[in-house]
Amino acid sequence: MRGQLKILVVDDSAFMRLLISDLISEDPELEVVGTATNGLDAAEKVSQLNPDVVVLDLNMGEYDGLFAVKAIMKEKPTPILILSSVGNTNLDPIFEALKYGAVDYMNKPNRNSSKMRTMHAELISKIKSASRAKPRSSVEDLSPAITEQASHGSNYELIVIGASTGGPSAIERVIRDLPQNFDIPIVICQHMPSSFIAPFVNRLDSLTKLKVSLGTNSMHLLRGSVTVCPGVANMIVTEKRKEKVLDFTEEQFREYNNPSINAMMLSVARVYGDKAVGVLLTGMGKDGVRGLKAIKDAGGFTIAQDENSSIIYGMPKVAVENQAVSISLDVKNIGDHFVNKL
């Protein structure tokens, strides 16, 4: 069939290679063009078969999935979807794979065909989404982190950042670049399974001298803090007894829920008005566009990650098209803009 996406399946289990290949092949738009048993085999097969997407396990012995990600991104950059059970116990290898260029991730049940089949629709959706990605390693072109904030005062009281596919590495880059004395509170809303968010918070906290924590009900947004929205509900900012605090809303949003970028950004526009900065990073879909536009319309400043540095130029593109963006920046320049231009 013309127009089919070519998929390479990489797993050291023959059973899982067959099962995953069968699930993928059920979709007429996808074709499994080959399989590989380890990271070295995967890198060689990518060169031979030129797949559109690699579906890759991480835990494969000497030549593991991280070896494959590094080799593929060096020799023939290709969208990679991590499908691995390692995320059920340790998310660090997944975040490392994303840093080195993998596009997205899914947890794989341990040799359980029935559970794997319940993930069929999500697997197909993520493969098709990954095929639209522009793969790149976030470890490329890393300039030295900013060590001291400029002495001028800021007109802004809160920065809210939204991201989806490709976002973890982009967020790491932005936060890593901020100095210890950066004093504008930051709230981050990243599309991510709820179980991934706490480890992501811990990872961010290890990369910066700022304090990174998980958002909780009634939490105050303090200067120099970085707060990540949990994935159990839609978080917002509200005013209680003349104090700005975090809260949850039962309102559902058509673009995405738990956590909804629009939920957070729309509330920030209401509460902070022209004292807010909104940032929309890489990702599929339209979540965050309405919220970013609301911040801009309220007199706040808005930033979109530019096309060249986005893994998937989806949400930022729609924001630009809807006149919701004050400026588009390469992700490597966003932290500097926070420090020296706000």
Would you name the residues annotated as active-site residues? 164, 191, 287
Give the pairing of strands 211-214 and 186-190.
unpaired
d(CA 40, CA 46): 10
Evaluate whether 149 touches 183 at the Cβ level (below 8 Å): yes
Evaluate whether 95 touches 110 at the Cβ level (below 8 Å): no
- DSSP 3-state of 60: coil
Q: What phi and psi, each to the nearest 5 degrees, are found at residue 234?
A: -90, 120
105 pairs with which residues across the strands?
Answer: 82
Helix (H) or strand (E) holding 211: strand 211-214
d(CA 101, CA 135): 6
What is the chain's alpha carbon radius of gyration, rounded to the nearest angstrom? Answer: 20
